[in-house]
Structure 1
Amino acid sequence: MSIGRSGQSAGRGIEVRHLRAFLAVADEGNVTRAAARLRLTQPAVSRTLAALEQHLGIRLVDRSTHHLVLTPEGVAFRDKAAAAVAAFDTALDPGGLRHWPLRLGHAWSAFGPYTTPLLRRWQELYPQTPLELLRIDDRTAGLTRGEVDAALLRGPVEAPGLVTEVLFEEDRVAAVAADGPLADRTALRLTDLAGETVVLNTVSGTTTADLWPASARPTATLTVANTDDWLTAIAAGRGVGVSAASTAGMHPHTGVAYRPLLDAPPVPVLLARRDGPGHPALPNLVALAREVVGRDAGDG
């Protein structure tokens, strides 16, 4: 497929490979990784990207930093390139499933108790399209940056340009030091934690001081950037935490005890995707996620 400017021959125009190279660089933020993904050499990808920019007459990628970022023009062109490539692939693949992976991001705890059933069922139904589960410490698990095709998120998401669907809700649990006095309790309430330092994962977590009533806010907070640091701080006795119930199963820690939190509201678990053309297998993922949750709820 060649996309030529007026007055140019098709051979001198832009082909789908140019768009694929640009999208790979946009996703990876690095020419070397983009080349590995495309199974090309780094110089080949650089030349292809430069040819695309020259043809368009605009700079798509800012090369002034080690981690490449898109220029405003590159951000605007990205959706157009993705739509063009998706249309081309759909024409060649009427079944609607690409043979390269569908990337599913999560910040922590994935799909909770439904993670394994989802992955196994996907493998049974769509073996030709691998489903890659990627943990990315980001509020949208890399979705707004284009690092994944869809994401499993928890709590309200304010990022523009996303389509979200609540699949189920999780109870909250308290996370306390396993050798501390709160671990001796079978269940806890928010007021039991208010006198402690509360560890907050502000990058990907859902808990803020607003979870507590205004009259009983925590006396102190400690901010961390990911789940690993959150667990380490709690195990070291530096504070307590609040999370969704699936964290207890997905992130067990010998130094952390999880206890039911009786008076905290549940956490919605969302499946999110960008509002626009995307991986053709996304509708299959949405349908299967609904099926797995619905079937297990019915069995329960």
Structure 2
Amino acid sequence: MTIDVRHLRGFLAIAEEGNLTRAAARLHITQPALSRTLQQLEAHLGGRLVDRSTHHLVLTPAGHAFRRRAAAAVAAVDHALDPAQSREWPVRLGHAWSALGAHTTTLLRRWKQRHPETHLELLRVDDRTAGLAAGLVDAAVIRSPIVAPGVRSERLTAEPRMAALADNNPLAGRASLTLADLATQPLALNTVTGSTTLALWPTGGAPTQVLTVKNTDDWLAVITAGDAVGVTVSATAAVHPNPSVRYVPLTDAPAVDVHLAWREPVSHPAVPALRRLARDVVDGAAPPPNGLPA
């Protein structure tokens, strides 16, 4: 039996729906046909992917691991077969928030100068891998480590942490702040992609009031409203300036490492060139003379 993308789509539908009947209806096939598709896939892989012992189907540990690979494979197939990509194959750079900060514009413009034949598409994806694990991007700017088979990364820089406060907050006029200064304030935490957790504070010294959000837009909204303060990095101040927000340096908070991550083998032949350019831009290297390779 040859396994193809139909089997992967069937498995992903089951994983998302948790029910064979709903998954089959979503795919416009019969439940027995979908059940056979799952059995064929499991037989090919040599193990159970789905626990069928309860009415609500759940993934086995092997199923959870395979789900990431299946999602990446299906995304790559869909991208390759998209008619909109027939004339151009862009290299996709993901980020969860703030991209490369003040370096972002330089990266985009210099890429366009050096590689006019290949569009660099900057995509914000609200997950910790910025779309890399799901195969939505070819490379990603990340501020949290990725531990996954086939993923490689290199450190580009470190960004100092800053407090983000509403402009009418009594602390907003300070030249600098400490973590202790923020401990009595409600704290906004982006629990999906943010680099800040309560572990940043010493034991017993963390804020006791926490507002959880799921993306940068919502994080900024609660801060501008004066409902909470936030901790971020210098890139956010560069990419999200706001007259109602003050970004103040934090003197006792460790910097955040910024990495560029990609998969090997690479999903786009331009990834090595993107890696070199990102390094040049962050390091402040001048563009090479005309005619020299990027």
TM-score, normalised with respect to structure 2: 0.70
Instruction: Give 3-state SS (helix, strand or coil) of 1:168's partner.
Output: strand
Structure 1 residue identity aligned to 2:187? V
Letter in 1 for 2:265: G
- The whole-number CA distance in structure 2 between the counterparts of 1:160 and 1:71 is 13
Is 1:166 the equivalent of 2:155?
Answer: yes
2:238 is matched with 249
* CA–CA separation in structure 1 for the residues paired with 2:103 and 2:255: 17
The corresponding residue for 1:286 is 275
In structure 1, give the amino acid aligned to 2:154.
Answer: E
Q: How does 1:126-145 map to 2 (within 5 A)?
A: 126-145=115-134
Q: Quote the residue 1:89 is aligned against.
A: none
- Seen in structure 2, the aligned counterparts of structure 1 residues 77 and 108 have a Cα distance that, compared at 3 Å, is closer
Equivalent residue runs for 1:200-279 within 5 Å: 200-279=189-268
Question: Is 1:157 aligned with 2:157?
Answer: no
Q: Is the 8 A contact 1:204 1:225 kept in 2?
A: yes
Shift of 1:99: 4.2
Residue identity matched to 2:194 = G
Is 1:295 matched with 2:279?
no
TM-score by length of 1: 0.68
RMSD of Structure 2 on Structure 1 (CA): 3.9
User: What residue number does 1:121 align with?
Assistant: 110
Indicate conservation of the 8 Å contact 1:189/1:263, yes or no. Answer: yes
Q: Secondary structure at the match of 2:284?
A: helix
Is it true that 1:190 corresponds to 2:176 in the alignment? no
The AA in structure 1 aligned to 2:258 is V
Matched residue type, 1:294? D
Do 2:72 and 2:133's aligned partners in 1 also have CA atoms closer than 8 Å? Answer: no
Query: How far has the Cα of 1:277 moved from its partner?
Result: 3.7
The percentage of counterpart residues that share the same residue type is 49
Q: For the structure 1 residues 213 and 146, does the alpha-carbon distance in structure 2 shift closer, same or farther, using more than 3 Å as the test?
A: same
Partner of 1:92: none
Consecutive unaligned residues in structure 1, runs of 5 or more: 6-12, 30-45, 47-52, 61-69, 85-97
Report the Cα distance in structure 1 between the residues aligned to 2:7 and 2:93, rounded to whole angstroms.
21
Instruction: Assess if the C-alpha contact under 8 Å between 1:82 and 1:278 holds in 2.
Output: no
Distance in 2 of aligned mates of 1:242 and 1:151: 22
User: What displacement does 1:159 show?
Assistant: 3.5
**Counterpart amino acid of 1:160?**
A
Corresponding residue SS for 1:128: coil
Q: Determine the C-alpha separation between the residues in 2 that align with 1:263 and 1:74.
A: 40
Q: Identify if the C-alpha distance between structure 1 residues 237 and 130 changes in structure 2 by more than 3 Å, giving closer, same or farther.
A: same
Q: 1:73 to 1:248 in 2, by over 3 A?
A: closer
Moved over 6 A (4+): 70-74, 77-84
Give per-residue Cα distances to partners, 1:134-183, cap 9 Å, x unaligned: 111111111111111111111x3144132111100111110011111011
Matched-pair contact (CA < 8 Å) for 2:163–2:248: yes
Say which SS state the counterpart of residue 171 (structure 2) adopts: helix
CA contact (8 A) 1:106 1:134 kept: yes
The offset of 1:218, in angstroms, is 1.4
**Mapped partners of 2:168, 2:67: distance in 1:** 52
Q: How many residues align?
A: 242
